Amino acid sequence: MKQQLRHALVVLGSALLAFACGRAAQEESKTGKTAAPEANVVTFSAEQVQHGGVHWTAATASQMVPTIEVPGQLVPDEDHTARIGAPAQARIMTVHVRIGDRVASGQPLVTLQSQQASAARADVQKAEAEAASRRTALTYARMARERAERLLAAKAAARAEVERAQADEQAAQATLAQAEAELSRARASVRQLGAVDQAGDAIARAPISGVVFTRNATPGAVVEAGAPLVSITDDSTLWLEASVADRAASALRNGAEVHFTVPAFSGETFTAAIQSVGSALDPQTRTVPVRALVQNRGRKLRASMFATVLLGAGAATKAVAVPESAVVLVDEKPAVFVATPNAGGGASFERRSVVIGAKRDGQVLIAEGVRPGDVVVTEGAFAVKSQIERSKMPAE
C-alpha cells in the first residue's frame, strides 16, 4: 500500500513539473521575448556603414615606454615675471589694468600719490638750480683765468694772480661736478619713485611686456613701501612643477623631455624640458620637486592649470599605435572595434578589450588586444557600440 502511494506521488510531481514548463513556454510564446546571448560581433550593411559614418584603418607597429603618471601644475616662469611693488608709502589713486590684460613695457599700471615722490621731484629742481649756478661760476672763473693770463703775457699782472685764477677755476669745476652728481642722484630717485609732477603723483610702470596675472592694488588704499601692486609675466614660457617619487626621479636628468596633458586640451600631449631636479626629498610627502620649462606656443596654456605628467619608467617595448578616436569605453573598460570588410561594402565588427599605454600626437599605444595590421574603427565607433549594446537586449 505504501509503495503504491509513493508511486502515485512521483507521478503527480512529474505531471506538475511538466505543466509548469509548458505554461512557461506558452507565456514566452505569447510575449515573444527570449534571452539574448552575449554579443561582441555585429554586421553592418553598406547603408549602415555610410549612415553611421564608420571608417577604419590598419593599426601600425610602434614602441611604448612604460610610463607613470604624476600630478603637476603650470605656474608662471619666474625668470620672465615682474612683481611691481609700491616705491614708497603712498595712496593709490588709479589702477589702470585688470587681471588678464596684456601690457607693453613702460605702460602705466598704477598711479599713486606720495609725499616722498613730491619731495624727490623738489630735490631735482633744487639740484638743477644748483648745477646751473655752479656752471655760471665756472664760466666766470674760466674767464677770470683767461684775463689774468693775457695780463701776464702783457706784463701787466703778476704770476700770483694767474695762479690764483687757475685755482679758482679748478675749485669751480669741482663744485660743478658735485652739483651734477647731486642732480643725477635726485633724478634717479625720481625715476625710481615714478614721480611725474610737483603734486606728488607717481606712476608704477610695466618693466616688461606680458600679461597681468595678479592685482593687489585697490584705489584709495594707503600702502607701505614694497607693498605688492601688480604682477606681470611673459607667458610665452611657463614652468611645469611636479612632485615625483624618489625612485622615478632618479632617472630624470636636466634637459630631458617630459610629456604632459591638461584637462582643457584632453586630445593633446604637450612637451617640456626638465630644468631642475631637487637634490632633497620633501620631508612631508617623501617626493622630489621637479621643474620643467614649457614653450607656450600660441599661448594656449595658462598659469595655474593642473596637469598630468607622464614620466618614462623603463625600457621601450613593442606596441601597436591606433588613433585616439579608435579607443572607446565599453562597460567602463577601454576597447576597440576590429573591422572585417566584405565585398558588398559592409563589414563585421568585433569588440576587443585592450590595454592602453601612452598617448602621443593623437595616437594611443596599445600593449595588448590588437596586432599590427588589424583594421580598427577610427570614426563612427559610437554607432558600432550602440548596435552591439542593442544586440544584447532581449529580442522582441
Of 123-132, 189-198, 253-262, 302-311, the poorest mean pLDDT is in: 189-198
| pLDDT tens per residue across span 287-332 | 899 999 999 988 999 999 999 998 765 556 677 888 888 888 888 8
Q: Reduce the DSSP state of residue 53 to 3 states and report it.
A: coil
Report the sign of the C-alpha dihedral through residues 132, 136, 141, 142, in that order.
positive
CA-closest candidate to residue 223, choices 124, 117, 119: 117
All three cell numbers of 89: 608709502
Tell me, rounded to whole angstroms, the distance of Cα 375 from its chain centroid.
37
- Mean of the pLDDT values across residues 196-224? 86
pTM above 0.75, yes or no: no
What 8-state DSSP symbol labels residue 164? H
For the cut 90, the answer to whether the pLDDT of residue 99 exceeds it is yes
Average pLDDT over the chain, rounded to an integer: 82
Q: Reduce the DSSP state of residue 297 to 3 states and report it.
A: helix
Structural domains of the chain in order of their starting residue, each with its CATH number? 41-65+317-391 (2.40.420.20), 67-79+233-312 (2.40.30.170), 115-199 (1.10.287)
Between 91 and 268, the higher pLDDT residue: 91
Surface-to-core class of residue 47, CB atoms within 10 Å of its CB (0-12 exposed, 13-18 middle, 19+ buried): exposed
What interhelical angle do 159-193 and 115-153 show, nearest 10?
160
pLDDT for res 137: 92
- Mean of the pLDDT values across residues 343-371? 82
For the cut 50, the answer to whether the pLDDT of residue 21 exceeds it is no
Buried/exposed code over 17-37 (b: 16+ C-beta within 10 A; e: otherwise): eeeeeeeeeeeeeeeeeeeee
Q: Measured between alpha carbons, how far is 47 from 49 in angstroms, rounded to an integer? A: 5
Q: Measured between alpha carbons, how far is 207 from 200 in angstroms, rounded to an integer? A: 21
